[in-house]
Amino acid sequence: MTDVFERLVGQDRAVAALRQYAMNPVHAYLVSGPAGASVHDSVVSFAAALQCPRHGCGTCDVCRLVLADQDPDVYFAERSGVSWRLEEIREAERVARRRPLGAGYQIVVIEDVELTTTGASPSAPALLKSLEEPPSRTIFLLSAEELPAALDTVISRCLDVKLRALSDEDLESILVGEGAEPGAARAAAAAANGNLRRARVLVRDEDLSSRVAQWRSVPERLTGTPAASALVAQSIAASLDEAITPLQQVQEEEMARRASDAREMGLRAVANRKDVEAQFKREQRRFRLDELRFGFSALTGVYRDRLMENLEASTEGDARSAYRVGASLRAIDAVAEANRRLSTNIDESLLLHDLMFSLMEF
């Protein structure tokens, strides 16, 4: 490893900024970017650079401890629910008041800070207060995928580092460079929606092409009966369970690497193992949601193709094609509504059944 930022592929501008910031740090930073833009990895790499005497060499014990989530002065705040609770932000503030045990900083990491603006009692005001009066040797590292207007005052207290979404070409190039077969890399990149972590999982997934075919065959399998619609929903739900298996294998390998690193440093076990396992569970949940969004996108593509075919035929006076144009538009709207409902934490099985029952009419 040349330095701690080497793993942040395709983020040259952000990496250049982070390298500069590590040499002259301020009290708070906000790293933001779309899902899969290596937001978490960027935060961890930056934390290592802040603690390292050489600003992120990647080879010293300080860097290794941070990258292995074993530096006692780098604290990752934990969220127990969908939104950040007030007591969780206050606990992060309490940790921020500690004196660092080592020669570096007390670093407090709060991820998904957009979720401090949601819930019955938004915790963003408490976070803002923490940022306004930080101890001199404390640095807050915040991260977010979205930056809602309600977060503006928090953003104003931080230096903002923006990551960019990776293109399909970027992902394909990275995967091929890591040894993937070009065809598999191309398919994984197309299904990853700019998410490098997801692409690295999908490139190992031998069932990816069959799942794409399953989604694209949905309109043909919906024969207009409730029984057929229920079977389609059940088969897709089952494929979601299967799709998570490659990610679980990646996570098992990652935990094994952490255990090996811990042994090399003379530790009996992986530090913060429960936190890591909780992070893995959240990643599995996000992966399932991404898998559904990927499927909805593939399904939308099928109805869009039908729409274009029937539009052309309707201009030639085909009355039945004119009706099918309307049906295709309604189907696209139904899929879009299902995609919107994903953000409401709805049960996946119920969502799929509702969608298939709606689509059987089109």
User: Which residues sit opposite 109 in a β-bridge?
Assistant: 76, 141
pTM for this prediction: 0.68
* CATH superfamily, domain at 12-162: P-loop containing nucleotide triphosphate hydrolases (3.40.50.300)
> At CB < 8 A and 24+ separation, what contacts does 209-217 make?
211/239, 211/243, 211/291, 211/295, 212/187, 212/298, 214/239, 215/295, 215/298, 215/299, 215/302, 216/298, 216/299, 216/301, 216/302
Task: Count other Cβ atoms within 10 Å, centred on residue 97.
Answer: 13
Question: What are the backbone dihedrals phi and psi of residue 304, each rounded to the nearest 5 degrees, phi first?
Answer: -70, -40
Domain boundaries, the chain: 12-162, 166-204, 207-359
pLDDT in tens, the chain (362 residues): 578 998 888 888 999 999 999 999 999 999 999 877 888 889 999 999 999 999 999 999 999 999 888 899 999 998 877 789 999 999 999 999 999 998 899 999 999 999 898 877 889 999 999 998 888 899 999 999 888 888 899 999 999 999 988 888 889 988 998 899 999 999 999 898 888 888 989 999 989 999 999 999 999 999 889 999 999 999 999 998 888 899 999 889 888 888 887 787 777 777 667 777 877 887 888 888 889 999 999 999 999 998 988 887 777 666 677 778 888 999 999 999 999 988 777 888 999 999 999 998 88
Measured in whole angstroms, the distance separating CA 191 from the mean position of its chain's CA atoms is 14
